[in-house]
Amino acid sequence: MASNNIKIHKHFKVVPTSSTQITTPLTYFDIFWLRFHPVERVFFYTLPISQSHPSFFFQKLVPKFKSSLSLTLQHFLPLAGKIVWPSDSSIPFIQFNPNDKDDGVSLLIAESDLDFNHVIENSPQEASLSRSLIPYLESTDCFASVISIQITLFPKSGFSIGISTHHAVLDGKSSTTFIKAWAYLCNKMIKTEEESPTLLQELEPFFNRDIIKDTNELEVTLTNNWMEMMTKLFPNDKGNERCLKILPFEPKLKDCVRATFKLTREDLNKLNKRVLSTWEIFNKNESKPTNLSSFVLTCAYSLVCIAKAFQRVEKEKQKFSFAFTIDCRSRLEPPIPNNYFGNCVLGHFIDTQPLDFVKEDSLNLVSKSIYDIVKMIKEKGVFEGVNDVFAKYTCLASEGVEIFGVAGSNRFGVYETDFGWGRPEKVEIVSIDRGLTIGLADSKDGNGGIEVGLVLNEDVMDHFRNLFLEGLSID
């Protein structure tokens, strides 16, 4: 079986050793993502020549990956199940049944003849290249898988681990915790030959849903808003609100390229100084902050460069907005454990005018708008304005406004994910190609910088790269 330079060697269903049947309800934090496209991420690792030979890799290393994954699932039982929504339940839930032959995590073992060093380059390349390294996440009207994994060998070079996760079960923090837990146990099994190493306490997930209190009756509001939006976007699905099939947010691959750009700590300091030097001009009635966060600066700078690149190629595209999610774990009253496993994020739109992204002073305007939302959340709480998000999205979409999104975070520490062969050579959020989304990650060299992943039309990417690099050369 071969497709896109990929040969599939094995397909496993990996199950935890547990025989415990569990049911985990979804909360109002999860419902919004019920039919959202999977979050797809790929990790690239180099291997010594001796270990990257196919016979050694498939016979010696794959069993380690498989057994460590099974051991990890023992700590993360819901991931081995599936999402269901029976007619007698008011909300969907995750169910794992050890006696159900369909439960377990799909694990593909593959081989690629692509040039490993080319695939991990940061410079623009075909957007479709990384797609062949990502597994399919199964979903139907009646159920949806939670996670699927593909391990791909690049002979004489290294391997990749591609992971597709269902967003209604895992937010970014949760999925990163799972991957780090698997990497930790795999590393221990390889280095110490232990068959059942103990997981670090800080990587143990907390699944108790009772800790999520619905004091603002958001479950009803968000569920109704979500169903209303789904009906507007997909009218043919009306009357089938319990459908669990993931919606067709197809990847943008035709004439598109994928690239990664870096903002060093020095770059961020320079942008911080530039924005704050004119802060009073735009904010006469507010005190100037001492510093702007790396998140504010990275998003603002990247987005205005994208908007202006679009304007140069497609002149009719001038109206933009930006929405991002906030991790609510530490911001709820009372706060919930940092290791809470599930979605605990809420989305917010920034208050810009649609043309602000392409104005001469766009960096200041957009930075200020992102900063204001973060400040508002700190002062008024994470639920402030949440009821207006759906209405705002509908209004902006009807006006032809292009909506930017963001995936990942520089706080997840994805480059700390060591399966036994050191830090990844590269980490990509492949699913940013399903929308106008920037992917954020910590810098590989650990110096406090940020990596920005993008998938854009090739001409737009050329203009973006020029704007991005030129802007950083300004003192």
Catalytic residue numbers read 167, 418
Cα 200 to Cα 197: distance, rounded to the nearest angstrom: 9
Token pair in block for residue 98: 């050890």
Spatial neighbors of 404 by CB under 8 A, at least 6 apart, are 303, 306, 320, 321, 322, 323, 436, 437, 438
Q: Residue 455: enclosing H or E segment and its boundaries?
A: strand 450-457
Residue 64 φ then ψ, to 5°: -70, -45
| DSSP 8-class letter at 37 | P
Cα 364 to Cα 370: distance, rounded to the nearest angstrom: 10
Token pair in block for residue 125: 């390349």
Cα 350 to Cα 368: distance, rounded to the nearest angstrom: 9
Amino acid identity, residue 413? Answer: G
Cα 424 to Cα 418: distance, rounded to the nearest angstrom: 7
Token pair in block for residue 338: 């940092």
Closest CA to 149 of 133, 172, 167, 169: 133
* Relative orientation angle of helices 362-380 and 265-277, to the nearest 10 degrees: 90
Residue 110 half-sphere exposure toward CB, CA atoms < 13 A? 25
Closest CA to 371 of 286, 454, 256: 286
Amino acid identity, residue 337? Answer: P
Name residue, tokens 């994470």. 382
Name residue, tokens 């735009």. 282
| DSSP 8-class letter at 59 | I
